[in-house]
């Protein structure tokens, strides 16, 4: 379904790496957001038709070699297929960072569906504004590839993502829950995502996965989150859990890194949790592990039929007692 923006005009996607409230997403740690990495030049845009496959967009000429190389760990084709994204869908990506997934999703939806980037308001901080400025030029200048990307703000203090009467088919979030836990408003973000979806719509979640035997520290300072906790957040917001996938699992990830998930690619941070240099730091050790072990979870916003069935089941159970 086509969206109506709240208090903003149609904009191209920017880098939304500075969140309101002071937290900093794991994808960027620099004091000043870097400029976008230039993709390999192409004679002409490949994304000119109204219909492209996910395989084509994941390997598009508009993507840099380094971004395409990360397909090995992020598995965008398999992940988006698992979430059931269709070309005609309205898709909201929450906190899309530098647009790694946007490069895949937006061209796939171009011409039939709608891509909405939901990120912190660029006016909320200097960092967010600089990040937006660094990346908006590229996406605005290449509407032929990315289509008309829309933007709406979401953070601790924002209102609804969609206008009254409008809703999305799919909401996606990649590696963001630990940031919301750090800011102590993860429940609010899941509630906002629930409200933005059409009944029967899909919530797709990918997050760094903490070992089940390990203790979940408040604020997830290592970047890793218990799968059960992620499920609890979604279900407390009203979602129905549908299925988990091991698409983005990495058994080589020991999850005991001195600086948490940020020691691994793509960050390869050389410091520990206290931001002190790791003794005898060797980036090749972390490069050999690859990107983090990740949970991949699919949820559904219940329909009226789902709710009625649940209420009937609860009433029957109460009668039997």
pLDDT of residue 318: 79
β-sheet bridge partners, residue 93? 117, 172
Separation of alpha carbons 121 and 19, rounded Å: 8
- pTM value surpassing 0.85: yes
Q: Please report the DSSP string for 168-185 in residue order.
A: EEEEEEES-HHHHHHHT-
pLDDT digits (tens, 9 = 90+) for 200-245: 999 999 999 999 999 999 999 999 999 999 999 999 999 999 999 9
- The mean of the pLDDT values for the chain is 86
**Region of residue 280 (phi > 0: left; psi between -120 and 50: alpha; otherwise: beta):** left
Burial degree of 142 (CB within 10 A; 0-12, 13-18, 19+): middle
Q: Which residue has the tokens 């090749």?
A: 284
Separation of alpha carbons 293 and 224, rounded Å: 9
Phi, psi dihedral angles at 128 (to 5 degrees): -65, -40
Q: Which residue has the tokens 């050389």?
A: 270
pLDDT digits (tens, 9 = 90+) for 70-80: 999 999 999 99
pLDDT digits (tens, 9 = 90+) for 286-316: 999 999 999 999 999 999 999 888 888 888 8
Separation of alpha carbons 9 and 278, rounded Å: 46
Q: Which two tokens stand for residue 120?
A: 């912190």
Q: Which domains does the chain have, with CATH numbers?
A: 54-249+293-320 (3.40.50.150)
**What CA–CA distances, in Å, run from 262 to 193, 212, 270?**
26, 20, 9
List all residues 6 or more positions away from 125 whose beta carbon is below 8 Å from its beta carbon: 18, 20
Separation of alpha carbons 138 and 96, rounded Å: 15
List all residues 6 or more positions away from 255 whose beta carbon is below 8 Å from its beta carbon: 209, 210, 211, 214, 222, 224, 261, 292, 293
């Amino acid at each position: 379904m086509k969206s109506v923006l709240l208090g903003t005009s149609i904009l191209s996607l920017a880098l939304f790496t500075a969140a309101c409230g002071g937290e900093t997403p794991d994808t960027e740690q620099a004091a000043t957001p870097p400029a976008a990495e230039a993709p390999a030049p192409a004679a002409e845009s490949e994304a000119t038709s109204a219909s492209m496959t996910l395989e084509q967009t994941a390997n598009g000429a508009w993507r840099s070699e380094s971004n395409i190389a990360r397909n090995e760990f992020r598995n965008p084709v398999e992940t988006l297929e698992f979430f059931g994204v269709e070309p005609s869908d309205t898709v909201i990506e929450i906190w899309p960072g530098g647009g790694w997934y946007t490069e895949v999703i937006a061209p796939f939806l171009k011409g039939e569906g709608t891509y909405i980037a939901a990120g912190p308001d660029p006016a909320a901080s200097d960092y967010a504004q600089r990040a937006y400025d660094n990346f908006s030029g590229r996406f605005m200048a290449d509407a032929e590839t990315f289509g008309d990307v829309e933007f709406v703000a979401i953070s601790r203090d924002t209102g609804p993502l969609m206008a009254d009467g409008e809703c999305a088919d799919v909401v996606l979030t990649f590696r963001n829950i630990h940031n919301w836990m750090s800011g102590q408003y993860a429940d609010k973000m899941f509630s906002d995502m629930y409200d933005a979806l059409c009944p029967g719509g899909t919530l797709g979640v990918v997050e760094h996965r903490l070992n089940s035997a390990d203790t979940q520290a408040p604020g997830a300072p290592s970047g890793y989150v218990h799968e059960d906790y992620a499920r609890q957040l979604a279900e407390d917001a009203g979602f129905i859990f549908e299925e988990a996938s091991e698409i983005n699992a990495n058994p080589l990830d020991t999850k005991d890194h001195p600086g948490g998930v940020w020691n691994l690619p793509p960050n390869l941070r050389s410091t520990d949790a206290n931001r002190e240099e790791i003794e005898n730091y060797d980036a090749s050790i972390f490069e050999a592990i690859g990107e983090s072990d990740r949970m991949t979870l699919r949820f559904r916003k219940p329909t009226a039929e789902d709710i009625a069935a649940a209420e009937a089941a609860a009433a029957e159970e109460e009668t039997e007692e």
